[in-house]
Structure 1
Amino acid sequence: MYLNCHTYYSIRYGTFSELELLELAQQNHVTRLVLTDINNTSAGLNFVRKASEYSITPLLGIDFRNGVKPCFLGIAKNNEGYLELNNFLSHHLHETLEIPQRAPAFKNAFIVYPFEQVLLNELENFSEHEFIGVSITDLRRLPFSRLVKLKKKLVVQQPVTFRNKADFNAHRLLRAIDNNVLLSKLPQEEEANEAEKMFPIQNLATAFSEYPFILENTEKLLNQCTIHFDFSKGRKPQNLQNYTGSIKEDEQLIEKLCREGLPYRYKKIDTSIKKRLDKELDLIKKMGFVSYFLINWDIVSEASRRGFYYVGRGSGANSIVAYLLRITDVDPMELDLYFERFINLYRANPPDFDIDFSWRDRPAMTQYIFERFEHVALLGTYVTFKERGIIRELGKVFGLPKQEIDFLSTGRYNPNQLDSMSKLVLKYGKLLKGKPNYLSIHAGGILISEKPLHWFSATHLPPKGFSTTQYDMVIAEDVGLYKFDILGQRGLGKIKEALEIVAYNQPEKHQNIDIHDIQGFKTDDTINNLIKTAQCMGCFYVESPAMRMLLKKLEVDNYLGLVAASSIIRPGVAKSGMMREYILRHRHKGRAKEKAHPVMLDIMPDTYGVMVYQEDVIKVAHHFAGLDLGEADVLRRGMSGKFRSREEFQKVKDKFISNCRKKGYSDTLIYEVWNQVASFAGYAFAKGHSASYAVESYQSLFLRAYFPLEYLVAVLNNGGGFYRSEFYIHDARMMGATIHPPCVNNSNIANRICGSHIYLGMLYLRDLESRVMERIVKERTLNGHFVSLEGFLDRVMISVEQLAILIRIDAFRFTRINKHELLWKAHLMLSKNDRLEHPKLFPPRHQKFQIPKLHTTDLETAFEELELLGFALCSPFELLAEPPKNTHGQRNLHRYLNKHIDIYGYLITVKNTSTHTGKRMHFATMVDQHGEVFDTVLFPSVAAKYHFRGKGIYRFYGKVVEEFGFLSIEVIKIQKQDYISDPRYADMKTSKKLFESRVSRNISSGNQ
């Protein structure tokens, strides 16, 4: 009887989930109801999936509205009707069109116009599929309305939006947030009626007892509707069924491509390779995944044709077929990759391929996929209300001042000391926590479906301009839609641009580079030495302090070691305590036999009996606990965020434990192994995924080893990496580069290199407008270098404020005129509003101005750079108000091992973390006075006393310690050091004197 039910996917309107709606219906003895969210179909699939568990027949529709103003309900008679409704809604969402007051003539959907709207809009002449909805509150007016005569057209439309008063309160808060108004100023017409509740079915029938024909009409309408989606275990994937047009042709094509790929990938094709290939092809065909492989092959082939770099990773790298089709560059035979992790007969879902493109190339590849295939959409995801966001939104709704909202957002308050309004924010915030706030886009998921995607839901059109589903990845998988992951990353952009830079900076060497010669890179001693010594700044996945530390501790100097390190660094391995154990077993070869259980060591000999990869979960569950492969995969998936059936997972866990007991293992051992599995499975990489990462790491390490300056310029031009740009510039200087500030004659918008000279890009000038940069580069490209300030002004439209930025950074240093004189000239030659839009028809005659001789100090220049670039190009140690009391640096740490050291460091990065007891501690990476890097740790007792207060130089006192060959300082106390006062505002003579003495001292001690 309920035709108009809302969930919280009626965004910023509804108040509870689709499962809570089913629960509510069950409590009120409702056996059939229609889910009709407002302009949204996100809950539809899961509503249908779960309805049978509540003994409810689910039906689907849409509540079409303009804002909160109702237009009509669309109720699907069947799946074709749902497709019609989704097509209609999607068209209006894509084109941002208003919903019309009168519905189109749907063939397979009923239309219900709300009673009030029919009267208001004077609607008449209703078609066979159109009805008028009457709610309980409408019954008072019905006898006095002309509509009472339309007996065959009246149906029950009792909206369901709330369960109780708390829901209504949450609704009002959501409406105030959506309208961006104070709660007290929320217009009543923006709220739903508090009576929009579900009543027991008997009560509803009683309410309409005077109008039995309304109940009969409603029952008749509901009985004509049905909806079905297959959520069974044996359901077939809903992805594109074939690539060529027929399954037979698909199978012939994949076999042909594999035959062609064999000689490209393998110099010697032995029996083991052929057996593996036959085994995979046979299983891929049986599972119906051939088209999935061919679609991925199509995508990477197009990328190759366009010269785009890509990396295929994920569990798909476990497949020799993927290797032969060039979807991945990881040889599963070399790494003994576990094919059953990738595909087995117990899995309904196809293999998982993640294909990474450069962040610049990814939009073009996404566009290609949308044009190449028929039924395509991006995968949606929901951003929910989180604690801090709730406080900010409700703070505004309740009218709190900004400073109070900021204070509450920190979470550092005593609840007893808060005023009543702040307490209300926290109280009502609990009502919103976890509810959907808005629909967003999955990081890289694309759906390519056999059926139109509107068969499953409506789509909307986010700013990126690609059709996007109204449901997320988990729901998609439930119904058999499996995503293609097309991801963008900056690492590939760095590699591609580095090769382009080498092509113009060292053209004689560029033609000899094969960036895909991974086998050659793996055996290159220079590259492997960079890994062993952790000289990996700017290199993909291996540059972070934690990874640098791990590489040194493991003494990694080969590809397989890097593959393992890529997964060991993941949170799960560290959390289980097995990272340390792995390092111990790696460094002390006898320890594995001594500590590891024989079965575990036999299962995972390469990793010393330690679970490192996702596959290890399957291996341990299968060989150690005796689960079959299907159950083992349930276990692996159950520990990731993708899994849905907690009941099924619990059964497998129970079987894991009972099987182990039957094998005679002690409970101590069983739970030790289980805890290792449980703590890391959801975070670990598949081995093929780690191997794919290691391939890209080797490519970037090759460039770092042989073309370090070109590579670092590419790193900077692609948004840097783990560290600030300032640090990569410092690293380039340490490797022999001369760094120049932006220059109108030598700089582009991005950074450029000429020999060993790096000219910083104009993009670092934070207040310089992009249109000004573009004009400068375009004019210089067309008509050559600028020779004077006057000539520059004749050729480039620019305001005096923008020109001042360029002069202050010394972008006109080629004129050899002091920047203070140039600033005077600029202000005299340009009025405040001059030269913003229109060029002069003829070059103007420039007046001659008498400007006194002015001077600029190096110290002033340093502070101008700090202001304009965010960092100075001189050593930050030259800016200290008090000179360092010593010259200790990283090079001295060995001498102070197990002793205390007094050392100065410029802060690069801090990792704030917590101990297992929740106490705060810090890991900080610093640059010393000699430009070298050292690491520090502040344990909780020290972290409670001392804090890092932003960028700058800190003086540390602490103990030098060593763990597995890695040196760091356990800090006892720190003190931030003061810089010289800014000479542009302070006593110039004093500051200049300090600066000059500092520079002379550094020169005499041999520091640059």
Structure 2
Amino acid sequence: MSYAELHCISNFTFLQGASHPEELVARAAVLNYRALAITDECSLAGVVRAHVEAKRQQLHLIIGSRFRLEDGLSFVVLATNRKGYGQLSSLISMARRNANKGDYHLTRLVLTRHSLSDCLALWLPGEAQEVVFLNELFPKRLWIAAELSLTGRDRTHLEHLRRLSQRHDIPLTATGNVQMHQRNRRILHDTLTAIRLSTPLAQLGKRLAPNGEGHLRPYQRLAKIYPQALLHETLAIAERCNFSLDELHYEYPSELVPEGYNATDWLRIQVEAGAKERWPQGVPDKVRKAIEHELALIAELKYEPYFLTIYDIVCFARSQKILCQGRGSAANSTVCYCLGITAVDPARMALLFERFISKERNEPPDIDVDFENARREEVIQYIYRKYGRDRAALVATVITYQPRSAIRDVGKALGFSRVQVERLARSTRWWDSQVLIPGHLAEMGFSAESPLIKRLITLVEMLLGFPRHLSQHVGGFIISAGPLTQLVPIENAAMQERTIIQWEKDDVEALGLLKMDVLALGMLTALRKALGYIGAPQKCELSLADIPAEDPKVYEMISRADTVGLFQIESRAQMSMLPRLRPRNYYDLVIQIAIVRPGPIQGDMVHPYLLRRSGKAPVTYPSEAIRSVLERTLGVPIFQEQVMQIAMVAAGFSAGEADQLRRAMAAWKRKGGLEPFEEKLHSGMRKRGYSDEFARQIFRQIRGFSDYGFPESHSASFALLAYASAWMKLYHPAVFVCALLNSQPMGFYAPAQLIQDAKRHGVEVRPIDVRFSEADSTLEYDTPREQSEEPSPQPALRLGLNMVKGLSEEGIQNLIDARKRKAFVDVGELANRAKLHRTDLQALASADALQGFSGDRYRAQWQVSGVEEPLPLFQEYNAESAEVMLPKPDEQEEIIADYASSGVSLRRHPVALLRPRLNKRRVHTAQALWSVRNGAVARTAGLVIGRQRPGTASGVIFVTLEDETGQANVIVWPKIAEAQRKPLLQSQLLIVSGIVQQQDGVLHLVAGRLEDRTDWLGDLQTKSRDFH
């Protein structure tokens, strides 16, 4: 005999289920269950994971869901076929859409109006009259669930259910009310209950499960608890449930094709029109072959509607002057280039189309398009308007427990105080490992030997990776021809006017559904604004195409690592690599962006490439076939596509097999699965005459790519924007920094660092001033450009009112509107005419934005302190009365107030004020470090503006310091970091003593001693940007 479990929840019934869907399926297979139903509460969020595992285990998976109505009625619905699945999915969508995010609302009235004709139901017994209602709803398709869990009342409960069964002629069946795959998850299940109920475990009492019987139990054990007839009934129910997720057939919208055309013809027309625009002198033969090859494959796989949909969305964005650009594997496609979806010419780059679409792998393409972050919502709402919310929704992202959140929740459940919990949670900041270290525990007042601490660690490790809730994907959209709810449930997102499906991107990919990514990119916003600032005075519209290509001066600036604010090449790691690689053209920049990634670093590809590029090592190839793949990167594989091509030319992989290898590389860290490819790679290379050492080297590099290798197509798209931002910074530095400030938040550097960098590049930066400042930062030309016959000088940058902390949007708008009507005369008149609240006036005074009237911020603060609504004080206001009463703030006070009120200061750098003090201690400026010989001991100091601990750096922490002369890069080895953890992680002003490393135009100070001198800053508060 066997058994089918029909009532089982996974951890996608958040904070109730204590096992992953895959664990439940695998355990059911081990126990030789005939079938398993995953019945998460009003959710199908975990079923795709269960489906994939069930196919692997060859287990019959039943799709279902559990519901609890407000009146207490509880039941399980099981889909019997494709139609029933659609009915279930629609019911879940309806219930979720009628409630706030994370909740659902379902009534008996809604149930009676919603057809579930192809579904079965199990009543989870409550009040006796409930079964009558469900029996009418599911005639001959309802069972009473007998859930026996050895509580001592099982016999009485079963007799009661039998009487109900006979009275209403409804059959009984065994179910387990399963919440975990094995009994040993009981402790975690209890902890999840405590977290869900916000009550410490010790206080839960009878609200905890009475025992650990809520797990998947062996048939032998079930046979001792349930009558045979009830166990046998589970198999009869399972036989009626024949639906599989493999039956889901997805169709993309087809309404974009005009009447009289089919999708194939219409796509060709658009591609041909785009090709003529791209190549006005005639389409080259190579490009023509690529177009024909791609269109034939797209037609064979019936992807034309997908391409036309993306094309329509891009056309909408361009019609609204929203800057956009495709990236990722789509950049491998000549069709995408002709349609204007991407900006990279694949023919010029020798990109691999099979990286994008492959007939062999029979999986849909994935097109990513970046839009301006400030205007992406317009694109998203266009999609919703065009297709309706019943046909379009964003893909979900599963938010899982991470160390901090797990420690917080488990700590509270175990009864730790709030202070203790926060102390423990803070110890898992990114520069620590993900486990608690005894020494750190002792510092915080805890013992690693404490049973409670050990229990905490055990539970945290169990909880890590558990789903906590669904959020929205960064931009993945599913659009369907028919109602999307027939495919997958839709629910409300936390953000207004957004809806999401219950599946994440891996689920969508596993089922072969087509997804497009509507992504946001801050640099596109900044570049669009910068182009607008340049073109506005001449009333002309500029585009990225107007930026001159391949300017040697741009590459000279990039090679100096003068890249603060630039797209993709502004990080400390990129800045360290730039003077060594020294990009001289576009393709060098493509390599530069890709090489500073975990994949090439872990695969030991960086140093060989640099040595070959500098002529310090010979460029060799084991064969002409390998040369054809690696010649453009000097014999070293830098890109994912190259690894795929090597597998094809050197080991005999087909294009589809090579793409499977790429996917295995991407998933290796999480799922494993590279081993089968290793043997195939070795044997294939051996047959073709390659040495075992070369095969091992290639496989090492493949493993390196599993740590995140960059596709060439991705890097090629990003390199265009990196170059554009560099050109803008070189020739229009004021315009560039203005655009960056008006596009925040974005990038590695805070506004204070961007402004310091702009000043070092000769940009005059003018303070926030109510007489001149707009909401955004603006450019001020002392000579009106339309009146000037000379080449216009660089404009000055005027900081905007929106940088003032605490100043309301309403206050900004009122101020600007009032100033347009008439210039302000004094503070009193400004306050009255702009109708500013006192808090807005105080914010302006604190930011020294009233300096034009008051002289300094102290006087301004005094003047606004007596303001009362509706400001009668200023009707007879005399500004002179304040002038002799208050001393002027000194420079340090001004700088402290600047940072506190706006986050930036245009006065001297804070470290400059401390220079006499630092000189006495022989502390070098960042600039002076360059004059110190390599290997010498030196000392420097600065504000900590960034800390980085890359996963590839083996625990090394990189710290960036800033002083009045620039930035200094500090390397902190793990032993130093551990011994001097407090100054490393907590300092705002850090003095570092160490050894200078200077090579190939790159300078680091390798830290030996760290000294926290934050106390020298007084009340100045700065904040670093820390990145993992």
1:326 shift after superposition: 0.5
Structure 2 residue 892 is matched with structure 1 residue 882:
no
State which of 60, 63, 67 in structure 1 corresponds to 2:66.
Answer: 63
Q: Residues 156-175 of structure 1 correspond to what in structure 2 (within 5 A)?
A: 156-158=173-175, 159-175=177-193
Q: Look up the match of 1:965.
A: 1001
Q: Look up the match of 1:466.
A: 498
More deviation in 942-951 or 264-273? 942-951
More deviation in 540-549 or 410-419? 410-419
Q: CA–CA distance in 2 between the matches of 1:322 and 1:786?
A: 54
For residues 605-656 of structure 1, the C-alpha deviation after alignment (integer angstroms, 9 at most, x for no partner) is 1101100111111111111222222222111110003999855x43332111
Q: Residues 253-268 of structure 1 correspond to what in structure 2 (within 5 A)?
A: 253-266=266-279, 267-268=281-282
Q: CA–CA distance in 1 between the matches of 2:856 and 2:715?
A: 54
Q: Look up the match of 1:570.
A: 597
More deviation in 101-110 or 385-394? 101-110
Q: CA–CA distance in 2 between the matches of 1:407 and 1:645?
A: 33
Alpha carbons 2:828, 2:877 under 8 Å: kept: no
| Consecutive unaligned residues in structure 2, runs of 5 or more | 428-435, 442-446, 782-794, 1022-1028
Tell me the SS of whatever aligns to 1:5.
coil
Alpha carbons 2:488, 2:502 under 8 Å: kept: yes
Q: Residues 567-966 of structure 1 correspond to what in structure 2 (within 5 A)?
A: 567-588=594-615, 591-593=618-620, 600-641=626-667, 649-681=674-706, 683-719=708-744, 720-755=746-781, 756-781=795-820, 783-830=821-868, 835=869, 839=870, 845-846=875-876, 851=882, 852-859=884-891, 860-874=893-907, 875-880=909-914, 882=917, 884-885=919-920, 889=925, 892=928, 895-898=931-934, 900=936, 902=938, 904-907=940-943, 909-913=945-949, 918=954, 920-929=955-964, 931-940=965-974, 942-943=976-977, 947-948=983-984, 954-966=990-1002
Q: CA–CA distance in 2 between the matches of 1:564 and 1:870?
A: 36
Q: CA–CA distance in 2 between the matches of 1:364 and 1:56?
A: 45
Q: CA–CA distance in 2 between the matches of 1:752 and 1:854?
A: 33
Q: CA–CA distance in 2 between the matches of 1:84 and 1:91?
A: 11
Q: CA–CA distance in 1 between the matches of 2:63 and 2:337?
A: 44
Alpha carbons 2:751, 2:904 under 8 Å: kept: no
Alpha carbons 1:346, 1:629 under 8 Å: kept: yes
For residues 229-280 of structure 1, the C-alpha deviation after alignment (integer angstroms, 9 at most, x for no partner) is 328xxx9865457852899711111211222122211234332222222222
1:314 shift after superposition: 0.7
For residues 275-298 of structure 1, the C-alpha deviation after alignment (integer angstroms, 9 at most, x for no partner) is 222222222222222222222111
Q: CA–CA distance in 2 between the matches of 1:139 and 1:151?
A: 20
More deviation in 481-490 or 384-393? 384-393
Q: CA–CA distance in 2 between the matches of 1:344 and 1:148?
A: 56
More deviation in 444-453 or 349-358? 444-453
Structure 2 residue 438 is matched with structure 1 residue 402:
no
1:677 shift after superposition: 1.7
For residues 849-880 of structure 1, the C-alpha deviation after alignment (integer angstroms, 9 at most, x for no partner) is 95543221342222211332334332223321
1:578 shift after superposition: 1.1
1:558 shift after superposition: 1.1
Tell me the SS of whatever aligns to 2:470.
strand
1:900 shift after superposition: 2.8
Tell me the SS of whatever aligns to 1:175.
helix
Structure 2 residue 356 is matched with structure 1 residue 342:
yes
CA spacing shift, 1:32–1:251, aligned 2, 3 Å: same
Give the % identical residues: 24
Q: CA–CA distance in 2 between the matches of 1:240 and 1:824?
A: 64
For residues 428-487 of structure 1, the C-alpha deviation after alignment (integer angstroms, 9 at most, x for no partner) is 223323221111222221112345333333221112232212122222112111321110
Q: CA–CA distance in 2 between the matches of 1:150 and 1:677?
A: 66
Q: CA–CA distance in 1 between the matches of 2:729 and 2:953?
A: 40
Alpha carbons 1:83, 1:455 under 8 Å: kept: yes
More deviation in 401-410 or 721-730? 401-410
For residues 106-142 of structure 1, the C-alpha deviation after alignment (integer angstroms, 9 at most, x for no partner) is 2212233222243579858635144433333665245
Q: Residues 536-575 of structure 1 correspond to what in structure 2 (within 5 A)?
A: 536-575=563-602
Tell me the SS of whatever aligns to 2:77.
strand
Alpha carbons 1:354, 1:487 under 8 Å: kept: yes
Structure 2 residue 549 is matched with structure 1 residue 521:
yes
1:220 shift after superposition: 4.7
1:935 shift after superposition: 3.3
Structure 2 residue 512 is matched with structure 1 residue 480:
yes
CA spacing shift, 1:473–1:2, aligned 2, 3 Å: same
Q: CA–CA distance in 2 between the matches of 1:247 and 1:675?
A: 54
Q: CA–CA distance in 1 between the matches of 2:349 and 2:155?
A: 73
Q: CA–CA distance in 1 between the matches of 2:252 and 2:675?
A: 30
Alpha carbons 2:23, 2:181 under 8 Å: kept: no
Q: CA–CA distance in 2 between the matches of 1:386 and 1:225?
A: 37
Q: Look up the match of 1:154.
A: 171
Q: Look up the match of 2:197.
A: 179
1:93 shift after superposition: 0.9
1:550 shift after superposition: 1.8
Tell me the SS of whatever aligns to 1:73.
strand
CA spacing shift, 1:98–1:955, aligned 2, 3 Å: closer
Structure 2 residue 43 is matched with structure 1 residue 40:
yes
Q: CA–CA distance in 2 between the matches of 1:894 and 1:428?
A: 51
Tell me the SS of whatever aligns to 2:360.
coil
Q: Residues 84-233 of structure 1 correspond to what in structure 2 (within 5 A)?
A: 84-96=87-99, 98-101=105-108, 103-104=111-112, 105-119=115-129, 123=133, 126-127=136-137, 128=139, 129-136=141-148, 140-141=156-157, 143-144=159-160, 147-150=164-167, 152-158=169-175, 159-186=177-204, 188=206, 194-201=212-219, 204=222, 207-209=225-227, 212=229, 220-230=236-246
1:725 shift after superposition: 1.2
Q: TM-score, normalised by structure 1?
A: 0.88
1:813 shift after superposition: 1.3
The residue type paired with residue 342 of structure 2 is T
More deviation in 907-916 or 313-322? 907-916
| Consecutive unaligned residues in structure 1, runs of 5 or more | 986-1008
For residues 9-63 of structure 1, the C-alpha deviation after alignment (integer angstroms, 9 at most, x for no partner) is 1111011122332333334443134221111112223333433544432222110
Q: Look up the match of 1:249.
A: 262
More deviation in 696-705 or 955-964? 955-964
CA spacing shift, 1:626–1:550, aligned 2, 3 Å: same
For residues 61-103 of structure 1, the C-alpha deviation after alignment (integer angstroms, 9 at most, x for no partner) is 1101258955222122212112111111211111215322573
1:204 shift after superposition: 4.6
More deviation in 452-461 or 68-77? 68-77
Q: Look up the match of 2:53.
A: 50
1:492 shift after superposition: 0.5
CA spacing shift, 1:413–1:398, aligned 2, 3 Å: same
For residues 163-218 of structure 1, the C-alpha deviation after alignment (integer angstroms, 9 at most, x for no partner) is 554333222211221222222333745758754344444665665549x5x66765
Provide the aligned C-alpha RMSD in A.
3.4
CA spacing shift, 1:891–1:138, aligned 2, 3 Å: closer
The residue type paired with residue 549 of structure 1 is S
Tell me the SS of whatever aligns to 2:169.
helix
Tell me the matched-pair count: 962
Q: CA–CA distance in 2 between the matches of 1:887 and 1:167?
A: 57
Alpha carbons 1:779, 1:795 under 8 Å: kept: yes
Alpha carbons 1:709, 1:737 under 8 Å: kept: yes
The residue type paired with residue 107 of structure 1 is S
CA spacing shift, 1:801–1:890, aligned 2, 3 Å: closer
1:310 shift after superposition: 0.5
The residue type paired with residue 607 of structure 2 is R
The residue type paired with residue 998 of structure 2 is E
Alpha carbons 2:403, 2:464 under 8 Å: kept: yes
Alpha carbons 2:941, 2:961 under 8 Å: kept: yes
Tell me the SS of whatever aligns to 1:50.
helix
